[in-house]
Amino acid sequence: MERMERTGPEEHGDGEPWPGADMSHPGAGPDPALEPGAGPRPASVAARTTPGSSTTSAGTATPGSRRPAPLASFAYTAADEEKRRGVRRMKTTATGLLLLVALVYVLATWAKNAGAVGWPGFVAAAAEAGMVGALADWFAVTALFKRPLGLPIPHTAIIPTKKDQLGASLGSFVGENFLSGDVVRGRIHALAVGGRLGAWLAEPDHADRVTAELATALRGALTVLRDSDVQAVVGEAITRRANAAEVGPGLGKMLEKIVADGGHRRVVDLLCVRAHDWLVLHGDSVMDAVQGGAPGWTPRFVDRRVGERVYKELLRFVTEMRDMPGHPARGAIDTFLTDFAADLQTDSDTRARVERLKSEILGRREVQDVIASAWSSVRSMIIAAAEDEQSELRLRARASLMSLGARLATDGRLQAKLEGWLEDAAVYVVTTYRTEITSLISDTVASWDADQTSKKIEAHIGRDLQFIRINGTVVGALAGLLIYTVSRAFGA
């Protein structure tokens, strides 16, 4: 019976492992193939895989495939060992009860054979049926995790040998009963997410918390991004978009609007003022330039008089243009700009020249550097705003979240719209990826080591299973007593 009860890490009385025990991981028990009197090992346990092969459910290796390695997270832990000790204590209790009813049966039979009348028959019948119930339930419980007494009895060691099938069945069960569109939609609808989320967001502390989390996520995302990569993408996108769009008509319309509103006159006024001031300060330079361009055969005093005359006329012209809003030169500028605006919109030659100029400007290294540096500036600005709790960005985000929360808490239509989006999204995910989700269950179970899985499951539910043995002993004894009593009552 002691042999029958060993399911944990097997040890001699001195604490040393039994011969053949596999101690490669915590809680590993003996190799069943090395136990005295052990029957054939289950196929899933006996088969050994080699590189480039895997073990099928029948225990055979198929070339070119590999079974997933056992998961380290499913290792046998100290907590599992503590539960295992509780299982062993309950096994001892259940086995002790079996031995007790066996002893009662022996004593009752001895008393009956010794001539005692009446009670020994009742006691012996109850004890006998109790032993039968205890042994039957011991067999049923043990058969879940290993082969009872090591005998190759069919449909035993169910968990080690049927682990993969159980995982597939569990995945199928979850997919059919938990990942259906109706179940998910009904569950989300019952949660009333819209109203609860709105009431939660409307609280200032909660809005602050969400804002801080969003700022952290934004800062983290911007920190992870490589400036060189983003700059290249942004620069290419801006350049491609600018090259793809014809700027002539747009510039023409804008210039036409500016001229019609008189906005260009301020620029003309500024140019006239600056030109007048420059001429006043640099009169000698103007006269020297005129004299320098004179023919060599003209007298110097003539060149000087011509230079002075040109300077005075030029200064007079600029002064009149500055002081007279209706000056003919100003009108000529208006006419030129109006015609140029029209040509930008309608003249193909002008538009083509503008496009060539645009391409030349965009192709210059200086322009590309400006575009690239713009990302660095924007990134630094956003990170600084995200880190500052009193920045305009975070204050606006917080206010927007609180406003959204207040609307969600009171606006039934908005709640219904949000919940509808969530329901549709969740239903789409579970219906589209149901197979992938359920395969996660079956694949994970398939990756577990069979022996390890059996030991771990037994550590978690084995204590309750021992109560089945105890209940079987008690119920069997009561049933035996009832049958014996009825038989005696009818004179059997």
Q: What is the pLDDT of residues 401-446, one digit of tens each?
A: 999 999 999 998 999 999 999 999 999 998 898 888 888 888 888 8
Would the pLDDT of 396 be above 90?
yes
What is the model's pLDDT at position 76?
Answer: 64
What is the model's pLDDT at position 492?
Answer: 53
What does the alpha-carbon distance between residue 433 and residue 482 come to, in Å, rounded to a whole number? Answer: 56
Percentage, residues of the chain above pLDDT 70: 84
CB atoms within 10 A of CB 127: 25
Percentage, residues of the chain above pLDDT 90: 27
What is the model's pLDDT at position 67?
Answer: 47
Give the pLDDT mean for 353-380: 81
Selected residue with higher pLDDT from 237 and 327: 327
Would the pLDDT of 21 be above 60?
no
Selected residue with higher pLDDT from 250 and 23: 250
Would the pLDDT of 12 be above 50?
no
Task: Please write the tens of the pLDDT for every residue from 231-250.
Answer: 777 777 777 777 777 888 88
Selected residue with higher pLDDT from 38 and 112: 112
In terms of Cα–Cα distance, which of 279, 269, 259 is closest to 322? Answer: 269
Task: Please write the tens of the pLDDT for every residue from 214-237.
Answer: 999 998 888 887 777 777 777 777
Give the pLDDT mean for 450-473: 88
Q: What are phi and psi of 53, to 5 degrees?
A: -140, 165
Domain boundaries, the chain: 2-47+77-161+449-489, 236-380
Weakest mean pLDDT among 73-87, 424-438, 474-488: 73-87
Selected residue with higher pLDDT from 452 and 323: 323
Give the pLDDT mean for 11-31: 38
Find how far residue 243's CA is from the centre of its chain.
38
Q: Which of helix, strand or coil describes residue 21?
A: strand
Give the pLDDT mean for 352-357: 88
The token duo for 206 is 């909660």
CB-CB contact of 42 with 160 (8 Å): yes
What does the alpha-carbon distance between residue 397 and residue 201 come to, in Å, rounded to a whole number? Answer: 12
What is the model's pLDDT at position 215?
Answer: 92
Q: Residue 194: which residues within 8 A CB-CB, separation 6 or more? A: 408, 414, 415, 416, 418, 419
Task: Please write the tens of the pLDDT for every residue from 126-164.
Answer: 999 999 999 999 999 999 988 998 888 888 888 888 888
Task: Please write the tens of the pLDDT for every residue from 97-112.
Answer: 999 999 999 999 998 8
What is the model's pLDDT at position 226?
Answer: 77
Average pLDDT, the chain: 80
The token duo for 286 is 């103007």
**What is the pLDDT confidence band of residue 115, given thresholds at 50, 70 and 90?**
confident
CB-CB contact of 207 with 401 (8 Å): yes
What does the alpha-carbon distance between residue 418 and residue 189 come to, in Å, rounded to a whole number? Answer: 11
- CB-count burial class (<10 Å; 0-12, 13-18, 19+) for 415: buried
**What is the pLDDT confidence band of residue 75, given thresholds at 50, 70 and 90?**
low
What is the model's pLDDT at position 16?
Answer: 37
What does the alpha-carbon distance between residue 445 and residue 70 come to, in Å, rounded to a whole number? Answer: 9
Would the pLDDT of 51 be above 70?
no
Residue with the two structure tokens 């990826």: 433
Query: What type of residue is 196?
Result: R
Q: What are phi and psi of 129, to 5 degrees?
A: -65, -35
H or E stretch covering 49? none
What does the alpha-carbon distance between residue 205 and residue 207 come to, in Å, rounded to a whole number? Answer: 5
Would the pLDDT of 34 be above 70?
no
The token duo for 337 is 């700009």
Would the pLDDT of 302 be above 90?
no
What is the model's pLDDT at position 61?
Answer: 39
